[in-house]
Amino acid sequence: MSIFKKKQELYLSDRQPLTVVGKLLLFVSYAILIGWAFVIVWPLSQMIISAFNGNQGRYLILNKITDDSYMFSLKHFEFLFTETKYLLWVKNTLVIAIATAVLTILIVSFTGYAYSRFRFKGRKASLMAIMLIQTIPSFAGITAYYTMHSIISSVAPVFTRQMMLILIYAGGGIAANTFILKGYMDSISTELDDAAKIDGCSNMKVYRLIIMPIVRPMLSIIALWSFIGPFMDYLLPRVLLTNANDYTLAQGLYTLMNNRETLNQPAFAAGGLLTAVPIVILFAVLQKQLISGLAQGSVKG
């Protein structure tokens, strides 16, 4: 009995010892991971140091900081709030981001359900069209956006360029997210639908009472993607938004770097750090849903 226990202790794991090649590959893998972490952490650390460096000069000359000494200070954040329209840029971006996320979720939840549960003429062709649409960058249609805005604003003067931007972001996200949500819904057994219909539920009730609670984690992920988009995008707001009071965060912060009169790199770094706050808060709020959605998506099917 004791010999059997000793043998069990000797073979607790079936993994074979690493060979020389295996150790070399492991070393290379760790080296790549450490290098990738450095590439991410180094710019972030420089941004944090710049944002809180009270001795750093306001202007940059030949891309060199005028004062390299360090003293912790919040003066760059104070400049951001008192001498720029940062709070207005935050409000504009939040309005656009929230509206984009809500509109995307509202439409995608219906289109994903329709493509997953119904068979209709032109279904495969439209799905193929959705996939092809993703190959066209949204910036390529800037002329069409101008034309559409001119037509709509002539009929409805209250239609602003910010509203146009929301429609562009939502429209660009609907196609890809419909395809993703449709695949997620396909993994849900249709027997649940049939059982609910036997009990007298309509298609709308099946969607609301059966499908929606199950796909809520995936909808949370789609909402997060849709919300982050307006925070990260610069090109479309730069072209469409011409009034400084309508700027988003990306476009507004760029004004601190695009000419010599307003050049303030530390304030730009401080604004970049604050921009991450709403996204981090949203990640924390949706953490359970995000983990659930990713975990369920990996085991369904």
- The closest alpha carbon to 188, from 165, 161, 210, belongs to 210
pLDDT of residue 13: 53
CA dihedral 15, 21, 26, 32 (to 10 degrees): -160
Contact 181, 216 (CB under 8 A): no
> Each residue of 151-165: pLDDT tens digit?
887 787 778 888 888
Average pLDDT over residues 258-264: 70
Contact 104, 174 (CB under 8 A): yes
Domain residue ranges in the chain: 10-73, 77-299
Supply the CATH classification number for the domain 77-299: 1.10.3720.10
* The pair of three-digit structure tokens given for residue 228, joined into one six-digit string: 């982050």
- The closest alpha carbon to 221, from 275, 111, 272, 297, belongs to 297
Contact 249, 275 (CB under 8 A): yes
Residue 198 pLDDT level (bands cut at 50, 70, 90): confident
pLDDT of residue 88: 92
pLDDT of residue 31: 93
pTM: 0.77
